[in-house]
Amino acid sequence: MLEIKNKIEKHQYIKVAEFRKDIRRTAPHKHNSYMEFIFLTKGGGVHFIDEVAYQVVPPVLFIVRKEQVHHWELEGEPEGYVLIIKKPYIDNSLDSALKYLVSGVNAHPYIPLHFSHNLSSIFALLLLEWKQEEARPFQSEAMEGLLKTLLAKILQEVPTERSKHIGSTDTFQRFEALLSETGTLRNRVAYYAEQLNTTPQNLNAVCRRTVGQSATAVLAGHILGEAKRLLRYTDMSLGEIAGRLDFGDNSHFIKYFKRHAGITPNVFRQRI
């Protein structure tokens, strides 16, 4: 069974910590409803996020969304920082710029960095502020300001062709947020259009304008990703997975999976 890790207290919405230097290999796991930023300045090896292997070549930043599965195969002693953010922290903010910046970095699981000194300094200040045992005047404002600075500096490292559409529409950001709720995925663009108070045609236009893909293709990416996670990390039957992902029957799910993955779900599971 896939492990669900929880590195933050229930009452906390944000946490900053130094990356543990004793981490080398970890089992595949998900996080308990939070987004994790991992900034490494030392170390080597491989970081796997949803089956994709990323080489750890510091300085580098990894962003793991709450629905994704990841694990480490590190070499040498790592060094860096970890930032954990729960969705309510962003939702409760009155600053629209913060939401814009989070949605921007959310699209990039791996960002090789050219200049790490500024990020190291910001992470250090965030950690210092977060560790204050007694609440201080404007502490929350300081945390949010540092977080915005951090996210903006990160996005400056994203190549122009990858960043030109970041956060270009609020509708697309909200669409992505709904799709990250993997427990309630629906295999219907019309369903999400209704949730977003728009039409399927407009949602499709928004997706094409923002990421160059149709709304159906964006939805398929999320459904296929969750299907692979369930096939790899659970013993759920194809019927259970089909039901979980809003398919009417097994045959529809199997055809859908093969069309997008090139193989059937059973073959995918056998190759694991």
Range of the domain at 202: 170-270
Do 95 and 136 reside in the same domain of the chain? yes
Report, as an integer, the average pLDDT of 235-264.
Answer: 94
Do 8 and 140 reside in the same domain of the chain? yes
Do 111 and 148 reside in the same domain of the chain? yes
Domain CATH for 97: 2.60.120.280
Do 14 and 149 reside in the same domain of the chain? yes
Do 13 and 118 reside in the same domain of the chain? yes
Q: Is the peptide bond before 58 cis (omega within 30 degrees of 0)?
A: no
Cβ–Cβ under 8 Å, residues 70 and 37: no
Do 88 and 217 reside in the same domain of the chain? no
Tens of pLDDT, residue by residue over 157-182, are 876 544 555 544 578 878 988 888 76
The domain tally of the chain equals 2
Q: List the structure tokens of 76.
A: 């040498």
Predicted pLDDT of residue 169: 58
Do 95 and 175 reside in the same domain of the chain? no
Do 60 and 121 reside in the same domain of the chain? yes
Indicate the residue among 163, 179, 211 that finishes a domain. Answer: 163
pLDDT bucket at 122, cuts 50 / 70 / 90: very high
Tens of pLDDT, residue by residue over 197-226, are 999 999 999 888 877 889 999 999 999 999
Domain CATH for 240: 1.10.10.60
Do 141 and 97 reside in the same domain of the chain? yes
Nearest CA among 98, 105, 108, 100 for reference residue 149: 98
Do 146 and 199 reside in the same domain of the chain? no
Do 152 and 231 reside in the same domain of the chain? no
**pLDDT at residue 97 above 70?**
yes
Tens of pLDDT, residue by residue over 176-199, are 888 887 678 999 999 999 999 999
Do 159 and 33 reside in the same domain of the chain? yes
Predicted pLDDT of residue 159: 66
Tens of pLDDT, residue by residue over 124-155, are 999 999 998 777 888 889 999 999 999 999 98
Indicate the residue among 163, 187, 218 that finishes a domain. Answer: 163
Q: Pseudo-torsion of CA 215, 199, 190, 86, nearest 10°?
A: 70
Q: What percent of the chain has pLDDT over 90?
A: 61
H or E stretch covering 225: helix 215-233
Indicate the residue among 163, 195, 227 that finishes a domain. Answer: 163
**pLDDT at residue 255 above 70?**
yes
* 73/90 Cα distance (integer angstroms): 31
